[in-house]
Amino acid sequence: MIYEQVTNNEEITSYINKANEIMKAAGYTDHSKIHTTFVAARAGYILRHFDGSQHEIDLAKTAAYMHDIGNSIARKHHAEYGALLARDLLKQIDISLKDTITVVGAIANHDESTGVVIDKITAAVIIADKSDVRRIRVQNFNPVNFDIHDQVNYSVLKNELTINDENKSINLHLEIDTEICSMYEYLEIFMDRMLMCRMAAKTFDCSFHLYVNSTKIL
């Protein structure tokens, strides 16, 4: 399995660790293996639900696990930097050129500011990444110093992604503490990401919906 080789690769782990170190110093939320492993598992769940092959699931989890390594170079254009890094790092393991291109493409296109949905693997990575908003992602533990991203993530008490085959919808259910973060503040930060999830869901012939405190927002 490619995913197993990637998660056991010391150099890839070092890039992920460095990326999160830089993100933490810059005041960003968690981008460590906690985040990348969560995104990999959720991307795998999405593809598995839509009858993706084991190989496709493996590629999606691999791309998800490596999607933020570009932050080890710079936050701006991190998706593109990450794709170039991944291309070189994947040469160390047993992976075909075709599969390398698939993984690199998913990494390059996961960011909402520049990315496009090019295939099901990319779509699964996008939805999994953009839906990872959780209290555990806050790295700044002093509420006095919270920025809006800390505030939004810290407000999330529960995060669940469901797929409704009958309604053909992918649904993100969040429970948030509105005393910490208002609905407006959440949407201010995450609207572009949610809209990208909507585009990605179309790849599976589904709609994408956001529910906050049981109220449909999107």
pLDDT digits (tens, 9 = 90+) for 3-19: 999 999 999 999 999 99
Q: What is the model's pTM?
A: 0.95
Q: Where are the alpha helices (DSSP H) in 109-182?
A: 120-130, 148-155
- Both tokens of 3, joined, read 């995913």
CATH code, domain with 12: 1.10.3210.10
Mean pLDDT on 61-69: 98
Report which of 203, 214, 191, 69 is spatially closest to residue 124, judged by C-alpha positions: 203
Structural domains of the chain, count: 1
> What 3-state class would DSSP assign to 204?
coil
- Supply 84's token pair: 């170039």
One-letter-per-residue 3-state SS of 116-131: CCCCHHHHHHHHHHHC
Share of the chain above pLDDT 90, in %: 80
**Contact present, 149 and 28 (Cβ < 8 Å):** yes
Average pLDDT of the segment spanning 37-65: 98
Task: Read off the DSSP letter of residue 181.
Answer: S
Task: Judge contact between 146 and 213, C-beta under 8 A.
Answer: no
| Per-residue pLDDT band at 149 (split at 50, 70, 90) | confident
Three-class secondary structure of residue 61 per DSSP: helix
Q: Are 99 and 2 in contact (CB under 8 A)?
A: yes
Structural domain of residue 17, as residue ranges?
2-216
